[in-house]
Amino acid sequence: MKEYNYTKVSKATEVLFKKMGCSSDDARNISEILLRADLRGIKTHGLVRLPEYYRLVRLGKIIPDASPEVVHSSPSTAVLDAGKGFGMVAGIKAMELAIEKAEVAGTGWVGVRNSNHFGIAGAYALMAAQKDMIGITMTNANPLVAPTFSRKPLLGTNPMAYAVPAGEYPPFLADFATAPVSRGKLDAWTLLGQLSPEGLLQDEQGQPTVEANTLTRKGSIRTLGGEVETGGHKGFCLSAVVDIFSAVLSGANFGPTVIPTLGYLAGDNQSDEDKGIGHFFGAMRVDAFQKKEAFLTQMDRWIEEFRKAAPVAGKERIVIPGDPERELEEKHLENNTIPLMGDVVEKVSETAQELGTDFLTD
Amino acid sequence: MKEYNYTKVSKATEVLFKKMGCSSDDARNISEILLRADLRGIKTHGLVRLPEYYRLVRLGKIIPDASPEVVHSSPSTAVLDAGKGFGMVAGIKAMELAIEKAEVAGTGWVGVRNSNHFGIAGAYALMAAQKDMIGITMTNANPLVAPTFSRKPLLGTNPMAYAVPAGEYPPFLADFATAPVSRGKLDAWTLLGQLSPEGLLQDEQGQPTVEANTLTRKGSIRTLGGEVETGGHKGFCLSAVVDIFSAVLSGANFGPTVIPTLGYLAGDNQSDEDKGIGHFFGAMRVDAFQKKEAFLTQMDRWIEEFRKAAPVAGKERIVIPGDPERELEEKHLENNTIPLMGDVVEKVSETAQELGTDFLTD
């Protein structure tokens, strides 16, 4: 891990998205959300993704100048067709629309279909929190997770994010995959030759395994909670709800019908029936439920009660969801730095070459 | 477990709620939701609760003739103050209001404060599904669950329910506590002298334990997912979101400020600041997102894809959330039977005596 100048990385990344065919505005927005993952220490969702994005652009799975369009609406809802564009472009437009609807109706709810990977879910939820609204984001994804009793993966790691504004404190932000472990973590364990903890994975037959590379051998991640006796069926419910809200409501590809990126890149699964992945965004004005000041004060109290509670031996305190990532982001923005792995810069530079330009060479 | 005549049990239960001071309508509604838990095999939330409800009525914590009132609203939202009434009375009114709002605004979202236990969350979510809406229910509850790194329980088992209408098939219904195990199951293990599976419980110091009676010795249930390495912090996020949506949005008692029923019954914790527990209800018209037929057909397809997927060895199929409970309920309604434990009938009969009447004696 090395620290780079954030302004330079940001400008250079924007250039690459423009070279791919994005408008200046879209290039800036995509770049900002992508790099925000690195600033917040969520490196699996950051710049490392850029080369894959470009391969999908070249295959026509991502259309860089697509413009999301509203295809259905009611006073508090809408559905956008992302036109196979970058997920970030649709994501920003969808959350802006949800916020706009909430201004009038109290809440706004926007589904997106025909979309692609949108980076970190929390970035959109936080847009609502900045307006004194609760922000909600969900998305479905490549099938990697086996429902309870299933031999095969049928669901994605299907993240959900909830941002809740507070008064004196920064927003609460719960941003989590509904699966217990990410592909990124499994890859890291595999590289280190490390086994996975018990209960997280299964092999091609659906039998428990601790082999961290099980996904490369047709295995699956299990649902949050693991076995039924430890609540794994609840994890299945949760992933299923994210899939239904993101994809069935909007008309995107759901569950096992999502076309896996890796398979697609390898030339498999180029189904005709590609409505992309789907997302779901919500914005709820807190003053649609209570006087704004009363809500914000009570949320401050919530944060204080959990922060001051007694921790177990060896831990300093209970972590308020979102605190560690925000603190990291603030530190980096103060120093105008961004942490990147050496091979990420190298691989993005190769993509830059393909695009007829350089990345961070001056 | 013995089967009783459902009509008789139902009428006799209604009488008891009327004797407690409920109106005829409320008595019928409370009784119906309470017994629906038994019909569906969720006996921890059924008639077994009645004697405790009555003790709370006698202590003034539940006011049987309270009438929930709208205290705040916007086109798609409202908050009800339940006036310390039965949770079922507020729950039904809140979901009816959410549905009414959704008819006009596309979605409806109603918070409830100053409430009490409302039975099974799924009953309210299903009200929306019957109207071709997605129904959502959440509630907070007595603190029994320790957040990640917390020594003490600060959150309830905080259930969430999502009902999704389908076309040819009955609704999908995910109705689950966000904690991995219920107090009812722990009590059952304790009775059988059985240990809990690893990873579910902690003792008074916050150290892991498999002693099923840990709650009676100041221990806690852990969050869904267990340790951080198996995703337990995601379970904390989930329980926290249910607490915030149910109680901070509505202005009820949240997290550790919820007054535990058992402590209350024992004369502890009779705090002045009692805004009861809180609930959160949502209704989303599916045709606010897509043409109704398109949605229902796609949801049928979702159910089929999961039902037909290959199961692991020893399992017949993947269980669609809600199927087993609905099948059980249908079977009982067909036979006009309800399954009840012997000691439940005995204990409810004792309560009936206190109320100056009988229970199932003819």
Asked whether B349 and B362 are in contact (CB, 8 A), the reply is no
Structure token pair of residue B292 = 């109704």
User: B154, A306: Cβ pair inside 8 Å?
Assistant: yes
In this complex, the residue of B181, B230, B284 whose CB is nearest that of residue A109 is: B284
Residues of A in Cβ contact (< 8 Å) with B176 = 233-234, 237
pLDDT digits (tens, 9 = 90+) for A210-239: 999 999 999 999 999 999 999 999 999 999
User: B106, A106: Cβ pair inside 8 Å?
Assistant: no
**Residue B232 and residue B215: Cα distance in Å, rounded?**
19
Residue B362's pLDDT band, with cuts at 50, 70 and 90, is low
Say what the pLDDT of residue A261 is. Answer: 82
pLDDT digits (tens, 9 = 90+) for A66-102: 999 999 999 999 999 999 999 999 999 999 999 999 9
Rounded to a whole number of angstroms, the distance from the CA of B97 to the nearest CA of chain A is 14
Q: How far is CA B36 from CA A252, B52, B119, B328, in A?
A: 35, 18, 9, 11
User: B299, A224: Cβ pair inside 8 Å?
Assistant: no
Residues of A in Cβ contact (< 8 Å) with B174 = 237-238, 240-241
pLDDT digits (tens, 9 = 90+) for A136-145: 999 999 999 9
Distance of CA B240 to the CA centre of its chain: 17
Chain A: residue whose CA lies nearest to B206: A312
**Residue A355 and residue B9: Cα distance in Å, rounded?**
75
Q: Which of B230, B236, B257, B292 to mutate to test the interface with A (most CBs of A within 10 A)?
A: B230
Say what the pLDDT of residue B331 is. Answer: 98
Say what the pLDDT of residue B270 is. Answer: 60
The mean per-residue pLDDT over the stretch B85-96 comes to 98
pLDDT digits (tens, 9 = 90+) for B223-265: 999 999 999 999 999 999 999 999 999 999 999 999 888 777 7
Which residue pairs, CB below 8 angstroms and at least 24 apart, start in B8-11? B8/B360, B9/B35, B9/B47, B9/B338, B9/B340, B9/B360, B10/B35, B10/B338
User: B290, A319: Cβ pair inside 8 Å?
Assistant: no
User: A290, B250: Cβ pair inside 8 Å?
Assistant: yes
User: B234, A315: Cβ pair inside 8 Å?
Assistant: no
**Residue B223 and residue B51: Cα distance in Å, rounded?**
29
Say what the pLDDT of residue B271 is. Answer: 63
User: A299, B248: Cβ pair inside 8 Å?
Assistant: yes
The half-sphere exposure of A81 on its side-chain side, counting CA atoms within 13 A, is 8
Residues of A in Cβ contact (< 8 Å) with B257 = 305
For residue A273, pLDDT over 80 is answered with: no
Rounded to a whole number of angstroms, the distance from the CA of A351 to the nearest CA of chain B is 34
The amino acid at residue A93 is K
H-type alpha helices, chain B: 6-20, 24-39, 50-58, 87-105, 122-129, 183-191, 232-243, 261-265, 292-307, 323-335, 342-354
Mean pLDDT of chain A: 95
How do strand B145-146 and strand A201-202 relate by DSSP bridges? unpaired
Asked whether B337 and B330 are in contact (CB, 8 A), the reply is no
**Residue A51 and residue A74: Cα distance in Å, rounded?**
38
Structure token pair of residue B121 = 């969350």
The amino acid at residue B114 is N
Rounded to a whole number of angstroms, the distance from the CA of B33 to the nearest CA of chain A is 22
Size of interface A-B (CB pairs under 8 A): 279
Say what the pLDDT of residue A60 is. Answer: 93
Say what the pLDDT of residue A184 is. Answer: 82
The half-sphere exposure of B14 on its side-chain side, counting CA atoms within 13 A, is 13
What sign does the dihedral A314-A317-A319-A325 (CA atoms) show?
A: negative
What is the torsion angle, in degrees rounded to the nearest 10, for the CA atoms of residue B278, residue B283, residue B289 and residue B290?
A: 150
Helices and strands counted in chain A (H then E): 11, 13
Say what the pLDDT of residue A274 is. Answer: 87
For residue B64, pLDDT over 70 is answered with: yes
What sign does the dihedral A256-A258-A262-A265 (CA atoms) show?
A: positive
User: DSSP secondary structure string, B291-311?
Assistant: -HHHHHHHHHHHHHHHHSSPB
For residue B269, pLDDT over 60 is answered with: no
pLDDT digits (tens, 9 = 90+) for A171-194: 999 999 999 998 888 988 999 999
Chain A: residue whose CA lies nearest to B246: A289
Q: How far is CA A325 from CA A37, A42, A43, A224, A345, in A?
A: 9, 8, 11, 22, 22
Q: Is the confidence metric ipTM above 0.95 for this complex?
A: yes
Global pTM value: 0.97
The half-sphere exposure of B109 on its side-chain side, counting CA atoms within 13 A, is 27
**Residue A327 and residue A18: Cα distance in Å, rounded?**
31
In this complex, the residue of B111, B174, B299 whose CB is nearest that of residue A289 is: B111
